[in-house]
Amino acid sequence: MKRLTKNISLLMILITTISISLSSCGGGGGDGQSSESGTINGRVSDVMMTIVPMQERSYMLAWVKGIFSLSRTANAQGSGVSGIAVTAIVNGNTVDTDTTDAEGNFTLTASGNVTLVFTTDEFSVSIDISIPQGTGINIVVTLLPDEPNPDDQVEVEDLEIAGTIRCETGVLDISDLINDIVVDGEGEDCVRVEGNCTLSIESNNVTLTNCERCIDAGGTAQVIITSADVSCDASEDGIRSRGNSVVTLDADGDIDISGGENGIRAEGNSTTSLSATNDINVSGDENGIRAEGTPNVNVSADGECTIVGFIRQDGTPTLNIDDCVNVVP
């Protein structure tokens, strides 16, 4: 897998949704809002504007100075990070507005495909994001109003998804991110997909934390995570696949799965596949792997592969874990 770099072009910063239905939906209005909208907790950390050479200087001096000393500086025109109007627009309608405080903080309520517009007397820049209903995001941005490409005028420095990602049908694509993805389940399942949903996550690093289960997949749903490193900590199962679901983790680095009960729990005719160019560690306080029915579990690492906990098999599962060392506490 090719590692993502900081030079990735930022086209859709969070999620592109195609015919998506989230299990937490409560029905939407005409402006794309629902009774359980998402929360955007944001902060503008910096405003970077170009310093232009003085017009009074000769053309050549200005040209030479422009080459060697053109720089960016925060608050070049006195706008700073406070007093910036932030507007959330869904389907062409304004659904919420706020103004940044002295530290650049703002809070908005919106869900679906959302355009965030940042406006001062000097500039207006925007970015498109999509927010699952009932889920919150914490986002830190730098504004670059002098960038000629509108897609580069808002740079995301940090992004965290707070709450569960749930999907029942359609395609949910979280990709093209230049930052790490952190999903805080706040004690619930971090990722839960059912029905025929296909969830794809691609990022530098993916962290699923404070989860009941990191991933719970059922029906014919698919979860595909492609990243440098993937880490997961859960109070119950690290990964649970059931029905005819498919869970695939592909890391150009390490995979670390930790479950309070099972590292991997595979049921029915599901498939769970973990692949890493470095190390894989799967651990469960009760079972490293629990397989019931006829599931397929594939774990392969170019580096070290360790499964901590018992390997329990009920039925006729297929386990491809020959290269892994099983450690029973």
pLDDT digits (tens, 9 = 90+) for 165-223: 888 888 877 765 556 888 888 899 999 999 999 998 888 899 999 999 999 999 999 99
State yes or no: pLDDT of 290 exceeds 70.
yes
Given a cut of 70, whether residue 97 has pLDDT beyond it is: yes
Distance CA(222)–CA(25), nearest Å, equals 20
Its domain, for residue 202, covers: 163-329
pLDDT in tens, 104-139: 999 999 877 789 999 999 999 999 886 766 677 888
Residue 77 lies in a domain: no
140 phi/psi in degrees, rounded to 5: -120, 130
Exposed e or buried b for every residue in 215-251, given b needs 16+ CB within 10 A? bbbbbbbbbbbbbbbbbbbbebbbbbbbbbbbbbbbb
Dihedrals phi, psi of 109, to nearest 5 degrees: -120, 120
DSSP 25: -
Query: DSSP assignment, residue 150?
Result: G
* Rounded Cα–Cα distance for residues 95 and 91 (Å): 10
> Is the pLDDT reported for residue 156 higher than 90?
no
The answer to whether residue 51 is domain-embedded is: no
Does residue 183 lie in a domain region? Answer: yes
Q: Residue 36: what pLDDT?
A: 57
Residue 319 lies in a domain: yes
pLDDT at 171: 81
Count of structural domains, the chain: 1
Quick check: 285 pLDDT over 80? yes
Tokens matching residue 156: 């995301």
Q: What is the tens place of the pLDDT at every residue in 41-76?
A: 999 999 998 654 444 334 433 433 333 333 333 343
85-90/112-119 β-pairing: antiparallel
For residue 160, name the pLDDT band (cuts at 50, 70, 90): confident
Residue 151 lies in a domain: no
Q: Mark 297-319 as b/e (b = at least 16 C-beta within 10 Å).
A: bebebeeebbbbbbbbbeeebeb
The answer to whether residue 14 sits within a structural domain is no
Average pLDDT, the chain: 81
pTM above threshold 0.75: no
Lowest mean pLDDT of 55-59, 242-246, 320-324, name the range: 55-59
Tell me, what's the pLDDT at 35? 43
Whole-number CA gyration radius for the chain: 23
**Per the structure block, which two tokens stand in for 193?**
């997909």
Q: Tokens representing 227?
A: 């990243």
Model pLDDT for residues 74-94, shown as the tens digit of each residue: 343 334 899 999 999 999 999
The answer to whether residue 146 sits within a structural domain is no
Q: Is the pLDDT of residue 269 over 70?
A: yes
Residue 62 has a pLDDT of: 40
* Cβ-contact 284, 291 below 8 angstroms: no
CA distance 255 to 274: 8
